[in-house]
Amino acid sequence: MLKIRNLNAWYGPSHILQGIDLEVNKGELVCLVGRNGAGKTTTVKSVAGLIPKATGSVVFEEEELLGLPAHARFERGLAYVPEERRIVPGLTVRENIRLGLLASPLRKKEAQVIEEIAETFPRIKERLDQQAITMSGGEQQMLAIARAVVSKPKLVLLDEPSEGIMPLLVEEMFRYFKHLKETGVTILLIEQNVELALRIADRAYILDQGEVVYHGSAEAMLADQEIQDKYCAV
């Protein structure tokens, strides 16, 4: 479904990604882990079309994405949930979710799809008409995820979804990721909580200094404490 080959990316003069090769098959949950500054966020932003200078190849469903603007990638079935959430102040929870449907054909069934997503997220269902900015950080993260998946994307890019969130909500969130995968949605997950991510993932990649240094099954990596300590310990 997603094939990344020899991906290089820059922020100004800084060469961040140095020849990344990565693959996500349809229906998989693949996690991308590594220390801060390893290039994980730059990788998913390159896929989403949010890095001005990137070379190599990013093929999604047999189509080259590099060169396409971010909105065109969204229209092809990509969804991106950034670490900073980007909840829009002044809008209710319902109105924030509605933003995820602006360019989607599902907009014609807006009320129905928002109701469906609310059923999946009980905390959101209780707060649909509440000002989104008044919710807790964890609830706002749930809202950001709901807004991304309401358009029924084929591939969801999740960047550090558990960052700064209380453990109870993190567990709830990861149960939802597992549910998403079971419904056929493909997920590329960046996560600092390596053990939690590996428990729900199929495969894992480790990035270090802009390069892939490890790739294998999530099960094998979970059992390999030495590799986790070497590349993932904070």
Per-residue pLDDT of the chain (234 residues; tens, 9 = 90+): 999 999 999 999 999 999 999 999 999 999 999 998 999 999 999 999 999 999 999 999 999 999 999 999 998 999 999 888 788 889 999 889 888 877 676 666 777 777 887 788 888 888 889 999 998 888 899 899 988 988 889 999 999 998 888 888 888 889 889 988 998 899 999 998 899 999 999 999 999 999 999 999 999 999 998 888 888 875
Sheet holding 29-33, edge to edge: 78-81, 155-159, 186-190, 29-33, 203-208, 211-217
Q: Which two tokens stand for residue 86?
A: 């980007």
pLDDT of residue 168: 85
**Domains (range + CATH), the chain:** 2-231 (3.40.50.300)
| Interaxial angle between packed helices 167-182 and 137-149, expressed in degrees from 0 to 180 and rounded to the nearest 10 | 10
Residue 97 contacts residue 153 (beta carbons within 8 Å): no
Q: Is the pTM of this model over 0.85?
A: yes
